[in-house]
Amino acid sequence: MRELTEKASVGIYLVQDGVFKYVNPKLAEIFGYTVEELIDKKGPKELVLPEDWPCVEENIRKQISGEVETIRYNFRGIRKDGEIIHVEVYDTAIIYRGRPSIVGILIDITAQVRAEERLKHINAVLYGIREVNQLITRERDRNRLLKGICDALVETRGYYHVWIALMDESGKLVTNVEAGLGKAFQPLIKQLEHGVLPVCGGLALSQAEVVVIQDQRTRCGNCPLVEKCCDKGTMAIRLEHEGKVYGLMSVSIPTRMVMDEEEQVLFEAVSKDIALALHDIELDEERRRAENALRESEERFRTLAEKALVGVYIFQDNRFRYVNPALAKIFGYRPEEIVDKLGPVDLTHPDDRHMVIENIRRRLTGEIEAAHYTFRGIRKDGSIIYCEAIGRRIEYHGRPAIMGTLMDITDRKRAERELRDAYRRLQRAYEELKALDKMKRNLIANVSHELRTPLTIIKSAVELAIEETDPDRRNKFLGMAIDAIARQTLVIDNLIEAARMERGQREFNITDVNIADVIKQVSDEFKSMAIKSEIKIEVNVNKNLPIVRADQDKLRYVLRNLISNAIKFNKPGGSVRITAEKRKDMVEVCVSDTGIGIPKEEQARIFEPFYQVDSSLTKQYSGAGLGLAIVKEIVEGHGGKVTVESEIDKGSTFCFTLPIKGKG
Ligand code: ADP
């Protein structure tokens, strides 16, 4: 019997008066003692976990008192080395050596209990993971998600506590959450904020695998959580997805479970799920940020464009995709009449379409990035406007388009043109003024010269005539004086006439005039001058010339000036020919000479007051440059025209017309 109990694989004992009277070797082994250390030396109380002792004591009492005979129960024992074990006992009350005792069998069920506990724990963890996964799929707010995860892992009692800290790339704490720690977490937050990581955290960040800490007291240094976790183990892992580390998660679990591989695998799986969720949320946030930025920039663009005073447009595939109100207004449309209905070509003048199309093509093909040009546009009402456009290539809905601004520069163009015209007019006026100024300066010299020369001639001719006794010679001197007087009279008459013209006095004393008579009389006035200049005067007037309506005195002026010039600018031996003919409703009078002629480019200008082909003081020909201006004024005042035809060195022909009586 004894041999049987000695060899038994269950613990067998006998207790009397609270002390072991017998234990077999197996029992001693279960508790880590020798048989001798227990028999007569220790009792059940020393092998039972204090928390469980009241229950064990009560069971012993029940048996000793005979309330129950046998009893089966479990309790937690303490081994000699302090380890807690789970045992099951079958006790029977007996009388040993005349005194109540208990014999019993004790089985170490630690492994079994642990397996059960583990199963329970794993179940709890799995349940937690399920909760976590549900959270991940429904919660898009990062902090709420992390908090939810911590709570779920703790609430299911899979873990005693959980904390998660997220860091940015520089290691700065971004956010932290915990469950199961409460106030105890505060000191750690302080550390994390200062960039100090607990041992588990530091290790987790430096390795991909799960960090396992069994013995916190020796390994965790002065981590603020050590007190709280002293009987627990720690697992920590970094939250990593596709190489990006978001932060770390640390949990505490029963010490004996930390080494469990399955436990670690589950923990790692949760961390991966969390990291994936963080990655998703990050993508979401990025997408939302991008969407917001896009929406904001679109809004900004729209507000800007809608309020802009210049036209703004986007077109693609030859259709406007956007135009602002200002652009539509420039072309006289409403925006909706243009968008998706018209293209740039429809708003362009046909003559400029080619240029505009080419500009668009070059930008769309990428030949140029932007273009700045002006073109003529057509408004809805068909009117033409000048536009200035600046447009560049953009991507619009993923395809090339052109966006730009457009201004109506019609007013500017008009102003520019007017300015240019005004400038040109000013330039011309300036030139004229310059010429006039020069001529006026010459005039004073000219006029005084023109008046003095004949006077000198008159004076000396008259003096000579007085002295002269020979009647022929005296007459010759007197003739000279008369010619000079005639010349001077013409100059003075011209000056008076010019002054009158200047004052705007253009009164004509119109009567019926026999032009042939007037021509005859005036040409006779020049007879002696012509002889002296060796010029032949020829008058060729149609006998049946009709009567003209004219101011006779003014007509004389005209003829005097033309004939005087024809003689003056002639060459010795030359001739002056005066003709008069009827032409339609007019009589045309022409005075031709065989003189020096007038350069083509000067011919228009000689009719301007004071203009002379040679106006220098050293000029060869006398005169103040007023004659032709007066001629033109008088002839045109009569409703006629003056013309000149001339060839250098061959001669000139001046013609003027006068209206025939009763016509015109
Ligand atoms: P003036 O004869 O006093 O100079 P006019 O007005 O009569 O002034 O003529 C203007 C200018 O026209 C002259 O100075 C001269 O250069 C040119 N001109 C006029 N008539 C003739 C002509 N018959 N032949 C050549 N030049 C002429």
Q: Whose CA is nearest to atom 18 of ligand 1?
A: 565
595 CB within 6 A, ligand 1: yes
CA dihedral 357, 362, 363, 365 (to 10 degrees): 120
606, 635, 644, 654, best to mutate for ligand 1 pocket (most atoms within 8 Å of CB): 606
For residue 566, give the ligand 1 atom closest to its CA. 23
Give dist(CA 386, CA 617) in Å, integer: 53
Residues 216, 219: Cα–Cα separation, whole Å: 5
DSSP H helices, 308-343, are 325-330, 335-338
pLDDT range class, residue 439, cuts 50, 70, 90: low
Q: Using a 6 Å cutoff on CB, does residue 278 contact ligand 1? A: no
Testing ligand 1's pocket by substitution, the residue of 565, 578, 596, 617 carrying the most ligand atoms inside 8 A of its CB is 565
Ligand 1 atom 23 nearest Cα: 566
Residue 202: phi, psi to the nearest 5?
A: -60, -45
Q: ∠518-626-560 over CA atoms, to 5°?
A: 15
Q: How far apart are the first and last CA of the chain?
A: 172
Q: Whose CA is nearest to atom 8 of ligand 1?
A: 625
| Ligand 1 lined by 628 (C-beta under 6 Å) | yes
Output 462 or 506, whichever has higher pLDDT. 462
Instruction: Give residue 583 CA to ligand 1 midpoint distance, Å.
Output: 26
Lowest mean pLDDT: which of 62-71, 319-328, 349-358, 570-579? 62-71
- Look up tokens 């668009």; give the residue: 360
Q: Which residues contact 309 (CB under 8 A, 6 or more apart)?
A: 326
Whole-angstrom Cα distance, residue 389 to residue 367?
18
For residue 450, the ligand 1 atom closest to its alpha carbon is 3
CA 619 / ligand 1 centre spacing (Å)? 12
pLDDT digits (tens, 9 = 90+) for 539-570: 988 878 899 999 998 999 899 999 999 998 99
421 falls in which pLDDT band (50, 70, 90)? Answer: confident
Q: Does ligand 1 come within 6 angstroms of the Cβ of 488? A: no
- Please tell me the pTM assigned to this model: 0.45
CA distance 70 to 77: 20
Q: Is 590 in the pocket of ligand 1 (CB under 6 A)?
A: no
For ligand 1, pick from 492, 598, 610 the residue to mutate: most ligand atoms within 8 Å of CB: 598
Q: With bands split at pLDDT 50, 70 and 90, how would you rate the model's confidence at 1?
A: low
Percent of the chain with pLDDT over 70: 95
Q: What is the pLDDT of residue 442?
A: 66
Average confidence score pLDDT of the chain: 87
| More reliable by pLDDT, 578 or 622 | 578
Residue with tokens 């630690």: 110
Beta strands (DSSP E) in 568-629 are 575-583, 586-593
Q: What is the pLDDT of residue 307?
A: 85
**pLDDT at residue 301, rounded to an integer:** 82
CA angle, residues 299, 302, 303, in degrees to nearest 5? 85
Q: Is 80 exceeded by the pLDDT of residue 303?
A: yes
Q: Is the pLDDT of residue 418 over 90?
A: no
Q: What separation in Å is there between the alpha carbon of 561 and the centre of ligand 1? A: 9
pLDDT at 461 over 60: yes
Query: In which band, very low, low, confident or very high, does the pLDDT at 14 lie, cut at 50, 70 and 90?
Result: very high
- Per-residue pLDDT, averaged over 262-291, amounts to 89
pLDDT band at 653 (very low <50, low <70, confident <90, very high): very high
Q: Is 201 exposed, middle or buried (0-12, 13-18, 19+ CB in 10 A)?
A: buried
Distance 648 CA to ligand 1 centre (A): 13
Q: Which of 489, 495, 628 to mutate to test the pocket of ligand 1 (most atoms within 8 A of CB)?
A: 628
* Mean pLDDT, range 56-81, rounded to an integer: 90
Q: Which of 183-187, 512-516, 615-619 is predicted least confidently? A: 615-619
Say whether pLDDT at 108 is over 90: yes
Closest Cα to residue 161, out of 183, 130, 134, 133? 183
Three-state SS for 434?
helix
Calculate how far, in angstroms, residue 194's C-alpha sits from the geometric centre of ligand 1: 107
pLDDT bin (cut points 50, 70, 90) of residue 118 is confident
137's tokens: 């799929």
Atom of ligand 1 nearest to the CA of 630: 6
Q: Residue 230 pLDDT > 60, yes or no?
A: no
495 in contact with ligand 1, CB cutoff 6 A = no
131-155 in b/e form (b: 16+ CB < 10 A) is: bbbebbeebeebeebbbbbbbbbbe
Ligand 1 atom nearest to CA at 619: 14
